[in-house]
Structure 1
Amino acid sequence: MLRLHRLFAVFLLLAAALAAPAHAGKPYQYYAVGDPTDVVLPQPKKTSLVLMGGGPDVDAAFAWLIQKGGGGNFVVIRSRGTDAYNPYIYAMGGARSVETLVIPSREAANDPFVIERIRNAEELFIAGGDQSDYINFWQGTPVQAAIQELAGRRIPIGGTSAGLALMGRFGFAALNGSITSEAALADPFDKRMTLERGFLLLPELGSVITDAHFDTRDRLGRLVAFIARIVNDGWAGMARGIGVDVETALLVEDGKGTRVGAGSVTFLQSVGLPQVCQPKQPLTYLNLQGQRMSGGGSFDLRNWAGYGGATLPFTVSAEAGVLLTR
């Protein structure tokens, strides 16, 4: 009986060891499926981006990222969570390996192994979670620099939810928690309106702020408020917004975007300065030009125009904190 207990204990120890992530005891967690040996593939000739709106993942978007990157090592980065993306993406085929790096601190974001795995990626995906973690843990670290280096080499980059939130030149940092459209319109200087600029400078997104869960969380109003703050505060003379519904992705190649998934993508552009944008006062910002993409065709992010019947135009205004569309 004693021998059986010892054998059972040994079995439990072996099972725990096999279940533990690679590099246990490090400030990061690293998981991999497939062969993570680094490969060198030809540099992509065009820029490819995936802007995903959160909720259920869009299979076609991940398959597209793998295709544009040529396979190789697909790397997922996040600040918390598990390796759930690894088997899901690897099962699609085409990638030599799928690796997840959980980077939950600035110490982890300075680790040479973490930076090496990101720099060696043929495709990079920034998972959802809490974008304030990405600002607090990654901004000003080699992780941020490594992502920017990938963009310079035209490595395909995607993001969903919190990952999407920081892909534009401007972003909602959520440093004091999230904010609803109603609250943002009632006071565009609410303490929860924490915006950032320059976390990433990705091609085609130089004047853009993005937002996810656009339909289910009724975020058109806060996107109007984000844009109002950007131009009101002098960060840019003109700002553009992209809102992506859940279970939806915008695939951008060489400046042209196509929609995949179940929902819509909304494009919004500033018109001059807000009429009223002051602390503790409701926002008034009139006649912003919007376009909604629900079907086929393409959207040119450089000319900010839909082609092939891709978009339906609309106008949106905030009048004393009340959102009006037509």
Structure 2
Amino acid sequence: MPRHSATAATVALLSLTGMLVSTAPAQAAADRIRLGSASDAHRAAWSGPAFTMNGAGSVVAASMTRAVDTIRGGSGSLDVVVLAGSAPSSGSTTPECDAVMKLAGINSCTTWTLTRAADGNNTRVNTDIRNAEFVYFAGGDQCRYVRWKGTALEASVESVVAKGGGAGGGSAGHHVSSPVVYDACGGSATSADALADPYDRALTFTTGMFDWPHYAGVVNDSHFRDRDRMGRTMTFVARAVKDGLTPGGRAWGVGVNEGGSLFIDSRGLATQYGADAYVVLGDHQPERALAGKPLTFTDYKIWRLAPGTTFDFADRPACGYYRRSVIDGVPDADLYNGTPESCATSGS
């Protein structure tokens, strides 16, 4: 065969091989990037737990600083692990750790990108988590995160909190931090979708993953007012009550705006940072929550938490809320503002 013909045949074969390889499903291996010290901090005791619940994926410096200072007791340094279900689409490959490393009291920050449910049992991943003092779940897709339920990763994160460390996250990481997780495994629901049909296929939940102290009965929501998610949080709450996902016949939605972060200390006292958050209580059965029918639920009790406001999850308040209802899928006007009822006039 002439040389040029052989070369052409080889190129064609290589091109075909490349096409065959590219069509095969790929599963990336767990990826680790560590910033800061190569050695972990060691100390006999830590002073947490502490939690941060962020409305967007980014670290909020003020609340994270408070969490770090609380856990280290104001002295020494600690290690942070960031868990992500996918790599960032652009920019830095370690955006959360880039922000964390600017804070005082940080020994190291390690980003693990885990793309498979089986990565939750990766020995090196779990060693890093157990040696850390704070675990931050990045933004992304919480459906990936709930697939780690029942893996070693779940127990490793719980061990960090148990030793006086902390946990939290933003966006998807905020969702997975509540005991009832809106997992979005059926797709992302809008408020309009949820109110029109509280059993829409996109409204799926995972329970029994993380249950942090004083945070029982909660379902988190993110990008809250920015994406007009009050309606869907109201539906989450109604579903949690109707389906018995929370104890005592009541459920609490916690929605945080982008740029906001809810810091929660070991006593259950929460302080809001950066931007507003909302606590939405449903304390009775919905008047109507049926598949294919618009939601009816009267008298939600809503607390608006401006930056600097506190909310006691250990001893939840019986006043300071305003009320809103949903009738036949149509919510009251002005869902995000209201005149709080005083303790003297509010009901139980």
TM bin, normalised by shorter chain, reads 0.7 to 0.9
**Which of 298, 302, 319 matches 1:290?**
302
Q: Check the 8 A contact 1:68/1:156 in 2, yes or no.
A: no
Is the 2:49–2:162 contact (alpha carbons within 8 Å) kept by the matching residues of 1?
Answer: no
The 5 Å alignment of 1:155-234 reads 155-234=165-244
Out of 200-209 and 60-69, give the one that drifted further.
Answer: 60-69
> Whole-Å Cα distance in 2 between the matches of residues 177 and 41 of structure 1?
43
Report Cα offsets for 1:34-70 as digits up to 9, x if no partner. 1131222243344211011106542112222221232
1:279 aligns with 2:316: no
Residue aligning to 1:103: 114
Aligned to 1:12: none
Contact 2:57/2:172, CA 8 A, preserved across alignment: no
Query: Over residues 219-258 of structure 1, what are the superposed CA-to-partner deviations in whole Å (9 max), with x where a residue is unaligned?
Result: 1111110011111112232211111000010111121111
Q: 2:142 aligns with which of 121, 131, 153?
A: 131
* 1:314 pairs with one of 317, 322, 335: 322
Runs of at least 5 residues in structure 2 that lack an aligned partner in the other structure: 1-26, 88-92, 339-348
Q: Which residue of 2 aligns with 1:33?
A: 35
SS state at 2:62 partner = helix
- Counting only pairs closer than 5 Å after superposition, residues 114-153 of structure 1 correspond to structure 2 as 114-136=125-147, 138-153=148-163
Instruction: Extract unaligned runs of 5+ from structure 1.
Output: 1-24
Partners of 1:42 and 1:250 in 2: how far apart?
28
User: TM-score, length-normalised on structure 2?
Assistant: 0.81
Equivalent residue in structure 2 for 1:257, among 270, 294, 312: 270
| Alpha-carbon distance between aligned partners in 2 of 1:98 and 1:118, rounded to the nearest angstrom | 11
The AA in structure 1 aligned to 2:106 is: A
Please give the secondary structure, in 1, of the residue aligned with 2:153. Answer: helix
Equivalent residue, structure 2, for 1:66: 68
The Cα of 1:157 is off from its aligned counterpart by 1.0
State the TM-score, normalized to the length of structure 1.
Answer: 0.86
Match of 2:81 in 1: 75
Aligned-CA RMSD value? 1.9
Paired residue for 1:302?
A: 314
Match of 1:280, SS?
coil
1:90 offset after TM fit, Å? 0.9
Cα distance, 1:312 vs structure 2: 5.4
- Output one character per residue of 1:251-305: Cα deviation in whole Å (capped at 9) or x when no partner: 11121111111x2110111121000011000000110111101143421112223
The structure-2 alpha-carbon separation of the partners of 1:42 and 1:318, relative to structure 1 and needing over 3 Å to count, comes to: farther
What is the deviation of 1:207? 1.0
Please state whether the residue corresponding to 2:211 is helix, strand or coil: coil
Aligned length: 296
Give the conservation status (yes or no) of the 8 Å contact 1:30–1:101: yes
Secondary structure, in 3 states, of the residue corresponding to 1:291?
strand
Aligned to 2:90: none
How far apart are residue 93 of structure 1 and its match? 3.0
* Separation in structure 1 between the aligned mates of residue 193 and residue 239 of structure 2, nearest angstrom: 14
Deviations 1:138-167 (A, max 9, x none): 122111121122222231112100000011
SS in 2 for 1:286: strand
In the alignment, the residues of structure 2 paired with residue 107 and residue 249 of structure 1 have an alpha-carbon distance, to the nearest angstrom, of 30
Report the structure number with the largest CA radius of gyration. Answer: 2
What is the CA–CA distance in structure 2 between the aligned matches of 1:297 and 1:216, rounded to whole Å?
20
